[in-house]
A and B are shown apart, each in its own frame.
Chain A
Amino acid sequence: MQEKVNTLSMKSYRSLGLAILLAAVLLALLAGSVWAQDPQPPSDDEVNKVAKELYCPVCENIPLDVCPTQACAQWRELIRLKLSQGWSEDEIRTYFAQQYGDRVLAAPPLQGFNWVFYVLLGVFVVVAVVVYIRVVRNLRTKPAAADAVVQDEQPAIQDDYLKKLEEELNRREKSS
């Protein structure tokens, strides 16, 4: 009898242990899935932070966070979903660029034909600086004597001119 009870209790304990193990595994799985998701959905501000740096693929030059079209509202919800799934901002930007092309990015990435843009932009700046340096170098290589003449001469002409002009204007003012 005692043996039967023991056998029964052993079976019960074994079942109980099995049940606890199962429950623990289920709980762990459940907890895991819950923890994997943010209990709070991403806020509008978090969504807009990402959307602000993306451009509406349909409208011209309008950031996604302020574009009023229905399509853009859906894209903002897509950003919310991706954020809730744990995607980083960079991953979301890359995803949009792959889906809709580089035009959704705030500036063309340094790749392919876009190099033409950046290289030529650099050329513009270099040419402008070179032109300026040439003018300045020309200025520095001029003989000092010539400088002195111009320095002395120019203000005198201007002062004299302005003085005479002022006198003429005063005369006209008085006569009228």
Chain B
Amino acid sequence: MLANFGFGALIITFLVALYGIGAAIYGGVKNSARWVESARLAMLLTFPLITLTAVSIIIMLVTRQYQVQYVYNVTSDTMPLYLKITALWGGQAGSLIFWSWLMAAFATAVTLRKWDRDREFLPWVIVVSLITLAFFVGMSIFVENPFERFWLSASGREMVAMFQPAGATPLIPSDGRGLNPLLRHPGMVIHPPMLYLGFVSFVIPFAFAIAALITGRTDDRWIRITRRWSLVAWIFLSLGLVLGSRWAYDVLGWGGYWGWDPVEIAAFLPWLSGTAFLHSVMIQEKRGMFKRWNMVLVIVTYALVIFGTFLTRSGVLSSVHAFAQSAIGPLFFGFIGVTFIASLALLLHRWKDLTSAGQLNSMLSREALFLLNNLLFMLILLVCLWGLIFPIVSELFTGQKVTFGPPWYERITGPLFAALLLLMGVAPLSAWGHSTVKTLGRAMWKPTIVSVAVLAVALATGVRSVGALIGFWLVGFVIAITLYDYGRAIWARHKRSHEPLPVAFWNLVGRNRRRYGGYIIHLGIVLMALGIIGIEMFQTETQGTLKTGESLSLSGYTVTFRSLAEWNNPDGRNIARAVVDVSKDGRYLGQLAPRRDFYFDAQQSMTIPGVRSTMEDDLYLLLVDWEEFNSNQATLKLFHNPLINWLWVGSVVLILGMLVAAWPDQEPDAAVQRAAQKASGRVTAD
């Protein structure tokens, strides 16, 4: 009953979306406000409709309706309630619904904004948003239906179908298979929604860009409208990536946070193009340049959003044969192809209208450095994208897959990331329009001296790796420049207005949230870089089989094996847990208990590390092996991860910066427009 209800709501959502697309196109072409308004209301209606579908699935998951295949695949009796609810995005069919749900929510939010001055964009924003939504909803209806149920035919054959086949009776399993154990982690509960929110919110800037191309209103109005949408999309995408890293560190049991896995890279690609876009739009706003490039970036970002979902959902990563056999893969591929080609065709159609108002005048101007920043981001993107798809290409042509492991990616992208860090330090001090070595040098020399001091400290503490020394210097350089820039501006406010320093800081950030929020984001990134340098360049590890009382040492830490216990937990897990004493340089620090959980329902195990964390380092301990019926011996693996926690601290700073940058301005947009118009007839907001 509930399955039929949810499926019915899904079909109505699909039909309403199709109607909205048709009405918006008709209204846009015929310039009919009535039809456009009707399309707007249709888009508004999609959210409550698909909410009914999503809530139906959640109720089925919570009420253990195992006759529904999706419920059977992702839940079991022993799972706690919160995991049953979040199992909505624990499997393919549910995650597609979840994607559509979020997409509808964002489409609704766009619908509710004030459209007074941008009425001509509205029908085309509706068309793009609803085409994207209709595609995903269509996939759920025709290919990955989450409401399909088990049936038993008259001949005793098990079947899966949406509606009861003739002569068949419902088949209701007594328990489900349960969620993949790796997904039963708080990080994984939040990680997919964040990533999906990032994905769907990038659809909105793309929709406005396409609307601008269709309507021919190719000034920077679309960029100004979508500035906050882009930032919000970037926030969610960044949060999703950070949470995914934390989850990998806590759950995957290999002592790291980022494995350059194809799924990780698929989520990283739109982040790269999105970050380039966030920087590049500033050039268009300030100097009227790179209009074509911004269009390219937003089109690429949208394509990568869909491509990322396609990669993780089509099975193409495991094998091209799986892709060819799946119905979802070719459909996704077709959708990406059609939308990408159509977008590029529109861009070419408006190519001449998108000429730059300004020109590059200096290699060291802010816009020239931003261009270099974009080039580096796109190079990293190309390297990652090519590394991601070449194994598929290789399998297609030779039948042989190849691997690109972390060392390969790190070798290629490491210098590019280092160059980006350098730009992050230099660019904020360069001026729009024109900068020279002299002006830049004058602005930079003080923080540069501080950064050289950081380098000296690193050398004095025994760091000899050239890569690490460059990395530490860059971290010191960016932090020094950012704080110096903050300090200079706060001091100037304090001197001019006699504001106390904290008030001057508050007002400074409040007056230019985007700029100073951006600098906080930069600080977050360099702190993250510090953690990454620590773990990538100084991580050490050892492994050994210990009897009770025996010890293993690593980087000053000594781990002494005390005991091992194995038992069946009432929640459906078999737990093997070792207890070890940890000491450092002879001082007892406490106990750690690494364990291995085996989930009976999913027949899968999960390695949970024992971790001792400080800002200096992590001691990361894994239970690798043990003998059954012998609790006096265990094989343990130790990782020493220096500075890793700066990665998480940096992530928090990053989030803080993103909130500052995205926080709505106190002043209404109109006031800013008036001030701008009064200031100069040449600098107009529209």
Contact = CB atoms under 8 A, between A and B. Distances in A.
Interface in B326-385: 358-363, 368, 371-372, 375, 378-379, 382-383
Interface string A74-117: 00000000000000000000000000011111111000111011
A45 B255 contact: no
B397 A169 contact: no
A59 to B, nearest CB: 10
Main secondary structure of the interface of A (DSSP, over half): helix
Contacts of B287: 154
Interface string B625-661: 1000000000101000000000000000000000000
- Chain A interface residue bracket vs B: 35 or more
A103 B398 contact: no
Given A68-B607, A128-B379, A158-B432, A139 B361 contact: yes
A82 B637 CA distance: 22
Nearest to A120: B386
Nearest to A44: B543
A43 B637 CA distance: 12
Contacts of B637: 44
A125 B363 contact: no
A162 B390 CA distance: 49
A101 B605 CA distance: 28
Interface in B375-432: 375, 378-379, 382-383, 386, 390-391, 393-394, 397-398, 400-408, 431-432
A103 B360 contact: no
Contacts of A155: 431-434
Interface in A129-167: 131-132, 135-136, 138-139, 142, 146-147, 150-151, 154-155, 157-158, 160-167
Interface residues on chain B, size class: 35 or more
Contact of A169 (B379, B383, B400, B675): B675
B453 interface: no
A117 B385 CA distance: 12
Interface string A44-82: 110010000101000011110010100001000000000
Nearest to A55: B403
A160 B503 CA distance: 25
B158 interface: no
B368 A157 contact: no
A139 B675 contact: no
Nearest to B407: A106
Nearest to B433: A154
A113 B394 contact: yes
Nearest to A149: B361
B361 A147 contact: yes
Given A66-B254, A101-B400, A168-B671, A138 B360 contact: yes
Contacts of B254: 62-63, 66
B679 A164 contact: yes
Contacts of B393: 116
Contacts of A4: none
Contacts of B545: 44
Interface stretch (B210-218, B259-267, B528-536): B259-267
B541 interface: yes
A160 B676 CA distance: 10
Contacts of B603: none
A63 B544 CA distance: 19
Contacts of B255: 66
Given A102-B402, A107-B403, A151-B433, A164 B675 contact: yes
Nearest to A104: B403
Given A157-B680, A165-B676, A136 B432 contact: no
A124 interface: yes
Contacts of B605: 68
With a 10 A CB-CB cut-off, give which of B402, B404, B671 has the most chain A CB atoms. B402
A45 B386 contact: no
Given A104-B403, A168-B675, 12 more contacts: A44-B544, A68-B605, A102-B400, A103-B403, A107-B402, A108-B394, A136-B368, A139-B363, A150-B361, A151-B434, A155-B432, A155-B433
14 contacts: A68-B253, A68-B607, A103-B402, A103-B403, A106-B404, A117-B390, A124-B382, A124-B386, A128-B382, A147-B362, A155-B431, A160-B680, A161-B680, A164-B678
Interface of A: 43-45, 48, 53, 55, 60-63, 66, 68, 73, 101-108, 112-114, 116-117, 120-121, 124-125, 128, 131-132, 135-136, 138-139, 142, 146-147, 150-151, 154-155, 157-158, 160-169, 172
